[in-house]
Amino acid sequence: MSFCECLKAYPEGSASASRLALTAKGLGYSSLIICNAEPQKVFRPDAASAVKGVRVILGAEVTAAHPKALKSRISALRARYPFLMVRGGTDEIIKVASEDPNVDLLMHPCAYDARRSLSIATARAARLNKVAIGFDLGALVHLRGSSRARWLEAARRNLLVARKFELSVAITAGALSHLDLKAPRDMIALAMVAGFEREEAEDALRLPERLVDLNMRAWTSPGVELL
């Protein structure tokens, strides 16, 4: 099956892009998307592309000091990278990201603030603008005790809202090293612990690559493709 993982490479992570590609290939991934905040500084992406058997895509995590700057940054990066991710840190950032159709994936902050669930307004905006919602399952591995229980509660609430509004969802291990990568079967098992059905988890692990393929097609206007 065609599975894809989103992660960070050196210097924002501890492993080079080529090391990540080799590990991802060994675990059974068909592709991986490198989402550094400064993608132009990724160390030797050409070496990663030379790894046969796994597709390496250079995307970007869009960051900014305030919402207005975020919107400008998204517009600037859209033409250069086939995949844009925003990590929701504040309500204002979440609002801007969910309302911008140029954003592919919004990583909701319940992973590090379990009290903040996906709001109805955000879900409606994400559905209207075709913004996928991301679930960082790394929290399920690293958290313990009551913190993990709160995260699970928040993740399940978010999943219920995503189902209600028929939102696209993606899952990731939040890897900062090749040692953090989990095999697809392990990711699916973790997602099922968080409340996903098996088919939902498999689709969520395929979604990022499907979005990249859509973005790389030549669209002359909304709904019109140049063949």
Bond into 11 cis (ω within 30): yes
CATH number for the domain running over 4-225: 3.20.20.140
Give residue-wise pLDDT tens across range 78-121. 989 999 999 987 889 999 999 999 999 999 776 555 566 788 99
E strand residue ranges, the chain: 4-7, 31-34, 55-58, 60-61, 84-87, 105-107, 132-136, 169-172, 219-221, 224-225
In this predicted structure, the answer to whether residue 30 has a pLDDT above a threshold of 70 is: yes
> What are the counts of helices (DSSP H) followed by strands (DSSP E) for the chain?
9, 10
DSSP state of 117: P
Residue whose token pair is 């892009």: 17
Give residue-wise pLDDT tens across range 47-67. 999 999 999 999 999 998 888
Domain ranges of the chain: 4-225
